[in-house]
Structure 1
Amino acid sequence: MGPLDAAWHLLNFFAPALGVGLATTAMARLVWRRELRGTSFWRLAGWASAACALGLLAALIVFGRDGKMAGYGLMLATGSLGLWWAGLRGARP
């Protein structure tokens, strides 16, 4: 595998984390409009995407391969945790 192939492989591995991070941030900003007013979209998206990427890496380590549904479930759980940490942790109703 050449360097260009390795780069594409890594980009394709982390692409779902970025997509899910951006999509869940957009949905969270719609649902919790008032609570997330003081937090920027890009800060939330960064935290959610980074947490999703960590979830994918953890699933790769635990299961030994990529693409398992449990791994994607872990990615969603860690992304939700990242959104909560970045925006909703201290929110009052």
Structure 2
Amino acid sequence: MSLLALLNHLLNFVAPALAVGFMCALAGRVFGRRAGAPAWWIQGAVNFGVGTLVLLAGLVFSGRDGAMITYAALVLACATSQWTVSKSWQK
């Protein structure tokens, strides 16, 4: 496999984590902004990291990429990460 093909596969693997992570961060800005919360791009980066780890864990446990249970776990993990990083648990 060439370097360009490897890069293409890696980018396609993490693309769902990037999309869901930054959509959660932008939705957090629209639906509720807390004082003291980090900037939206920091929230998106944290969500992206969590999402990438979930996708990697799904690949290891299911043995293949693209399992629907992995995508469900991705959404749940990114939502929980967004709730935590935006300090929505505080009053």
What is the TM-score with the length of structure 1 in the denominator? 0.87
Using a 3 Å threshold, how does the CA distance of structure 1 residues 36 and 80 change in structure 2: closer, same or farther?
A: farther
Instruction: Show the counterpart of 2:69.
Output: 70
- Structure 1 vs Structure 2 CA RMSD: 1.6
Q: How many residues align?
A: 91
Instruction: Show the counterpart of 2:11.
Output: 11
Query: How much identity, in percent, do the aligned residues show?
Result: 31
Q: Distance in 1 between matches of 2:53 and 2:35?
A: 23
Residues 19-38 of structure 1 correspond to what in structure 2 (within 5 A)? 19-33=19-33, 35=34, 38=37
Q: 1:38 deviation in Å?
A: 3.6
Instruction: Show the counterpart of 2:40.
Output: 41
Q: 1:37 deviation in Å?
A: 6.1
What is the TM-score with the length of structure 2 in the denominator? 0.88
Q: 1:89 deviation in Å?
A: 5.7
Given residue 60 of structure 2, which amino acid in structure 1 is its aligned partner? I
Contact 1:25/1:45 (<8 A) preserved = yes
What secondary structure sits across from 1:13 in the alignment?
A: helix
Using a 3 Å threshold, how does the CA distance of structure 1 residues 68 and 80 change in structure 2: closer, same or farther?
A: same
Q: Which moved further from structure 2: 78-87 or 59-68? A: 78-87
What secondary structure sits across from 2:86 in the alignment?
A: helix
Q: Which moved further from structure 2: 58-67 or 82-91? A: 82-91
Once superposed, which parts of structure 1, at least 4 consecutive aligned residues long, lie more than 4 Å away?
A: none
Instruction: Show the counterpart of 1:61.
Output: 60
Any unmatched runs of 5+ in structure 1? none
Q: Distance in 2 between matches of 1:78 and 1:24?
A: 11
What secondary structure sits across from 1:65 in the alignment?
A: coil
Q: Distance in 2 between matches of 1:41 and 1:28?
A: 8
